[in-house]
Every structure is written in structure tokens, then in C-alpha cells.
Amino acid sequence: MGLDDFKENQEKKVVDASKKVRIAFIGCGWIAGSHIKALLKQPDVEIVAGADLIPGKAKAFFEKYGVENVKTDYASHKELLADKSLKLDAVTICTYNRQHAQPAIDALNAGLNVLLEKPFTVTTEEAVEVMRAEKKSGKILSIGFQPRMDANMKMIKKICQSGELGQIYYIQTGGGRRRGIPTPFGTTFIEDETAGLGALGDIGCYSLDMVLNAIGYPKPLTVSGYKSAFFGTDPNYSNYVKIGHPEYAAKFGVDDFAAAFIRLEGGIILDFRIAWAMNLDTPGDTIIMGTKGSLRIPSTECWNGTVGGPMVLYHEVCGEQTQTEIPIITMKENLFDLKIRTFLDAIKENGTAPVPSSQILYNQAIIDGIAKSAAVGREIEIEIPEI
């Protein structure tokens, strides 16, 4: 097997441009820009509407990207969804975390396919409510984890699924930044009432998805979690000082570091840590340990699917301990384009969600479990209501 076997996504599909997908935006902020750029490259999309809670923001957004004939005169996502003249097939939900669940539920109840940005929601209970609406609607709900489309992430999964590692029993994952609390266009990432989660939900969800998807998303059972916010709440935090906004410290209501010890079904231990800011280069590589072999994945931020260097497989050959380097695969295609394309294909081909909620529910349950365990200061059982 050669490395080209992992490049299947780099081949372009022929798209039937005569069959258009009519799509609307809910939330027209920062990440909506990546969605619209990717959507505009697709020959089979009509962007017909957009809503944002901030008056005038949706209109300005479409003007910025030169998209005409888009209806934007809605005070809320509910008004947009009630406009049957739009004849929508789908919405892309690009709202901040606390506004993921309700628009997703409303859009599914309106019979639309939904691409929902990550993290899934803030709490497990919200994710369950969204999934109940998904089940009732029979529509596609895909969660916006673009690293899933990356050839290196697929390689990690293939190695884990191949049996090359034997029985997997211990995983360490996470990552982070030395100084990287995201405040690109204000404070929606750091205020509790908009974000609800800090580093844990923002980049932690990617690290968790990288390893959990690789090993087939076993159910999380218990978690002992920790959260802190030493950097974000400090007006002298160097990046606030650099951008001239020391007052952001008083608005900071989420975590900038989180760590946890999680027990997964199948006797697997997951050791996790994630940082938006720390006095360290990395909190450690990702390691996946098995009875026959182990994989080291150099530390990464994960959000764009990149890994920090070649991966190394530690195993035995003829009784001798050896190492095999797994080179990095450079992707030709943009991961956002693939995220959008796979969602459109699923709609047009009556397929299934590229990143299904049934998997990301466990990602969310871990994140929520860490928050809840940190609040009570002890290990807790992870409870997931029936859908």
C-alpha cells in the first residue's frame, strides 16, 4: 500500500450543476467568511438568504463577498426560516456556540439540511435536543469538523483500524498555543453568554475528534476534569496589551486551559489537555498506545488538520524494536472546500452526514463532562440521555 492510497479526497468529483442546492446563512460573522468562499467555488449552489442578530451585518457580509440577490431583512433566524418563498434546501449555521442548538433545532424542524459549526453545542443536553429534531426531520445534520477531510487524519484512522497497534489501551491527546486566546473581531469567543466554552470547546473538540474518530468513537464513561482561566482574566495578558484591549480580561468568562482523565468503553484511558495560552511550547504530543504498536503524532493545534511533523509508529519486526516514520501528506484541496462539498454531496445523493452527530455526541459529552466535573471538583459519570 502506498501513500497515494490515502489521497482519495484529492480527486475532484464531477458535480451535476443543473441540480442546485438553495442555501441560507444563519450567522454572518468571521467563520461565515470561510463558508461563503467555499460555497462560491461550487457550481451547484444558490446562496439565497442570510440572517444575523446584528442589524445590517448580513447585508454587509454578502456585499463584501459580491453576492447579489440575497434576502437579508430578517431580525432573527426564526424569521428567515419562516420565509417559505426562499424554498431552501439547507442552512449553514455559523453562530457562536451558545446559539448553535436553537437555530439547529429550528432549521431541522423546518425540514432543512443543516451544516452546524463546531463545537456541536455547549452542553450534552443541547446536543441531545438537536439530535431529537434531526431524528424527527430525517434531514442531514453534519458538524463542521473540517480536519476530518485531511489525508493525515484519515491515515491516523487507517493505522488504528488496521490492527497494526493491536489492542489500544491508552491515549494522550490535546495541544494548544503559547499565546492564542481568540479575539479576532471582539469578544464572542471569550464571553460566557456567547461562547459558553473556551479552549475546551474551541480547539479541544478537534483533538478529541482526531483520536476518537480514529478508534471508532467508543462511548465515554467517566471523567475527572479541570479548567482554569489564569491568562484570559489577566488585564496584563500580553496579547490584550498588544491589541490595546486590557478590558477584555473583565469579560473573559470561559476556560483558557482544560485537562481531563477519561475512561472510555473498551477499557481505554484518554488523557487530555488543551490550552489557548500557557507558558510552554506544547502540552505534549498525541500518543496512541497499543499492545502491538504505538503511534506518536507530533503536537498540533488540530483546527486545520495539520500535524506538527511526521508521525512515528513504534513496533516490533521479527522480535526487534523498530520505528517507522509516516510522512506528512500535503493536501492539494482546501479542507473547508471539502467540508462544504461533502455536505452538498450528501444532500444531493441522499447520503449520510459526513460528520455525523451520533459520533460528535460523545465528543460533546466529554467536553460537557469536563466542565461539570471541574465544577464539582471530582470524577463524575458521563450521562447521555436517550435520543
Binding site for ligand NAD (CB under 6 A): 26-32, 51-54, 57, 76-77, 94-97, 99, 103, 117-118, 144, 146, 185, 188, 202, 303
CA distance 94 to 92: 6
CB of 258 to ligand NAD, least distance (A): 15
CB of 61 to ligand NAD, least distance (A): 8
Using the minimum distance from each CB to ligand NAD, give the nearer residue, 30 or 314: 30
Q: Which cell is 310 given?
A: 511526521
CB of 38 to ligand NAD, least distance (A): 11
Which residue(s) pair with 50 in the sheet?
25
Using the minimum distance from each CB to ligand NAD, give the nearer residue, 268 or 365: 365
Q: Which helix (H) or strand (E) segment is 280 a member of?
A: none
CB of 191 to ligand NAD, least distance (A): 10
- Which residue has the closest beta carbon to ligand NAD? 29
Using the minimum distance from each CB to ligand NAD, give the nearer residue, 303 or 314: 303
Using the minimum distance from each CB to ligand NAD, give the nearer residue, 54 or 375: 54
* CB 307 within 8 Å of CB 155: no
Q: Which helix (H) or strand (E) segment is 272 a member of?
A: strand 268-275
CB of 114 to ligand NAD, least distance (A): 13
Using the minimum distance from each CB to ligand NAD, give the nearer residue, 26 or 165: 26
CA distances from 252 to 70, 260, 373 (A): 35, 22, 21
Helix ranges, 193-310 (H): 199-202, 204-214, 238-243, 248-251
* CB 29 within 8 Å of CB 52: yes
CA distance 249 to 55: 27
